[in-house]
């Protein structure tokens, strides 16, 4: 199943965002499709190099047809935890509920959220090598030396250019992804709007959301 097939299927609800996000996320994984010698995958001198190395790591792990889907899923969940700042994203998505959550609730949400992301993104790597990805520019945000926006473009087979912006922060000697925006549609804001609305409607509050995500990730 290709990314374009999945995009066509997700035609209702908030699937429109994932349809737009699918190809740019694929692109991050196919920047350097040739396998490299083992190296620290996320150590990089600048955010653009980080995205390149992150893509190299992703394609190395996920394009191996000899590995089972469960094995590739485990690899991808590990890759998400290494490349995305899941705790910062979760705190943003659940504000103000994150501040009120217990440590157990936070850990359960993080585990379920990671699985939801993996289940959403993993199938999109099918057919990734047919796409082309390029980094257009990198700039600091607000004059800071630890927060960056990396602008990229995906060139599809039909010649369409899909603009994507990656919000990346410096984390020690490397970088972590905070958000991905596709033609102005933010992944983090999309999750925030859906999850906070669910908590407000649910009689069980954040526990109801966590249980829903756990069911979704298990199914």
- Gap between the Cα atoms of 9 and 179, Å rounded: 24
Burial per residue of 52-89, b for 16 or more beta-carbon CB atoms within 10 angstroms, e otherwise: bbbbbbbbbbbbeeeeeeeebbebbbebbbebbbbebb
| Between 210 and 59, the higher pLDDT residue | 210
Contact 18, 120 (CB under 8 A): yes
Instruction: Name residues whose C-beta falls within 8 Å of residue 24's C-beta, 6 or more positions apart in sequence.
Output: 133, 152, 154, 162, 164, 180, 182
The CB density around residue 29, as the number of other CB atoms within 10 Å, is 27
pLDDT score for 59:
67
- Gap between the Cα atoms of 193 and 73, Å rounded: 27
- Asked if residue 14 has pLDDT above 70, the reply is no
Residue with tokens 């959403």: 120
pLDDT digits 0-9 by tens, 124-135 = 554 444 345 678
31 pLDDT band, cuts 50/70/90, is: very low
pLDDT score for 32:
31
Mean pLDDT, the chain, rounded, equals 76
pLDDT score for 163:
82
- The least confident of 21-25, 61-65, 130-134, 196-200 is 21-25
pLDDT digits 0-9 by tens, 85-114 = 999 999 999 999 999 999 999 999 999 998
């Amino acid at each position: 199943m290709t990314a374009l097939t999945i995009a066509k299927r997700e035609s209702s609800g908030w699937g429109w965002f994932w349809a737009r996000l699918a190809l740019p996320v694929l692109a991050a994984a196919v920047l350097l499709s040739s396998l490299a010698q083992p190296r620290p995958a996320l150590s990089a001198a600048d955010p653009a190099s980080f995205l390149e190395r992150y893509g190299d790591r992703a394609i190395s792990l996920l394009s191996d047809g000899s590995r089972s889907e469960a094995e590739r899923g485990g690899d991808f969940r590990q890759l998400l935890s290494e490349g995305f700042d899941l705790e910062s994203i979760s705190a943003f998505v659940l504000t103000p509920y994150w501040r009120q959550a217990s440590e157990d609730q936070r850990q359960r949400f993080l585990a379920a959220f990671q699985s939801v992301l993996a289940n959403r993104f993993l199938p999109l790597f099918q057919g990734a090598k047919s796409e082309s990805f390029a980094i257009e520019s990198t700039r600091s945000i607000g004059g800071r030396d630890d927060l960056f926006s990396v602008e990229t473009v995906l060139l599809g087979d039909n010649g369409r250019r899909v603009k994507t912006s990656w919000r990346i922060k410096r984390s020690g000697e490397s970088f972590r992804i905070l958000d991905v925006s596709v033609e102005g549609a933010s992944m983090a804001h999309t999750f925030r709007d859906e999850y906070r609305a669910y908590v407000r409607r649910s009689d069980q509050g954040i526990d109801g959301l966590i249980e829903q995500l756990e069911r979704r990730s298990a199914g």
